[in-house]
Amino acid sequence: MSVLIFAELDEGKIKKSSQEAIFYGTKVAEMTGTSATAVIIGPADDAELASAGRFGATKVLHAADAKLTEPNGMAYATVVAAAAQQEGSKVIVLAKSSLADAMTARLAGKLKAGLAANVIELPNLSNGFQVKSSIYTGKAFAYNDLKADVKILAIKKNTITPEEEDATASVEAFAPILNDADFVISVKNTEKSSGDILLPEADLVVSAGRGLKGPENWGIVEDLAKALHAATACSKPVSDLDWRPHSEHVGQTGIKISPNLYIACGISGAIQHLAGVNSSKVIVVINKDADAPFFKSADYGIVGDVFDILPRLTKAVQAL
C-alpha cells in the first residue's frame, strides 16, 4: 500500500507544482507509515522520471501509451484509478490545475473517494482525516473531514516548499487497459501560451493595468520581469483592449495565481482582479493614486508614477 501522487509533465519535464505534490504526498506517506509512488503519464525520459525520487517518491509508474500523449482528463482519470487499485492506495495526491480539475471528479467517482480541493496544509490525523482548504478565492478556509476509504487531495500551488535529496525513484512501465469510452472526448491540439515562464508555474509575476496607457509602453514591464526572471501578467481591461494576450489576464475570470511575489503596476485593484491574485505570498503595489483600493491588500506599496518607478526598480534589480 502506498500514497499515490499524480505528477504532470510539461514538455517531458515534471512541473514544479507536481514536484510540490510529490513532496507533500511523501510527507503524508510518512505520517501514515506507507511509501510514496508517483504515476506519470506521457512521454518523458528515464532520468526525468527517476528524478521524482529527489522529492521523496520511491517508485514511478510510467504510462507511455501513444494515445496518452495529449492530456485528456477522462483517459488520465482511468490511468490514475488503475494505478491506485494496483498499489492499494488510500490517499491520492495531485497538484490543482486545469487538468486536475478535469480529472478529480471523475477519479472520485471511479474510486468512490472523498475529495478535497485547494488543500493548503498536511492532514490532521488526530481524529480521523481532516484537511484544510482555501475557499472563496483565499478569503476563508474550510476544514474537510474525509470519511471515505479512499481520499483525493488536490493541493494548491505554493502550499509546501519541497526539500530535495540525492535520490532516484525506480521506474516501472504501466499499461492499464483503456477503452474507447476513455477517449469520447479527444484532444486535437494544444496551444500553449508563449513566454519563457508561464503564469501558472511562476514564482514571481510582474503585472500591469491601464496605468501603462498603451501597449507601446509595455517594455518597462517586460524589462523588470526579465531582470527578476518573472512572468508577465495583466488586468482584464488590458486584455480586453488587446494590449496584451488573454493568456496573461489574471483575475476572477482569468488565470488564478499564487506566486511568492506579485508586483502590480498601474492596477487599481478591483475585487475581480484581487480574486485571482490574493493567494500571492507577497503583493507589491505601484500606483500614483494613493487612494487606489489595491493598497489595502498590499504587503508593500509605492506611491509613484510607474514610468518613473519601474525603470529605477529594474536598474536596482540588475545591480544586485
Last residue of a domain, one of 137, 157, 183: 183
In this prediction, residue 196 carries a pLDDT of 63
Looking at per-residue pLDDT, the higher value among 79 and 181 belongs to: 79
193 is in an annotated binding site: no
* Whole-angstrom distance, CA of residue 106 vs CA of residue 78: 8
Average pLDDT, the chain: 93
Q: What's the pLDDT band for 187 if we cut at 50, 70, 90?
A: confident
In Å, what is the CA distance from 50 to each residue of 75, 86, 104, 119, 241? 23, 20, 25, 26, 45
106 is in an annotated binding site: no
89 and 236 co-located in one domain = no
Neighbours of 124 (CB within 10 A): 14
28 and 56 co-located in one domain = yes
Answer yes or no: is 11 within a domain: yes
Answer yes or no: is 152 within a domain: yes
Looking at per-residue pLDDT, the higher value among 113 and 2 belongs to: 113
19 is in an annotated binding site: no
267 is in an annotated binding site: yes
This prediction's pTM: 0.84
152 is in an annotated binding site: no
CATH code at position 204: 3.40.50.1220
Q: Max Cα separation, the chain? A: 61
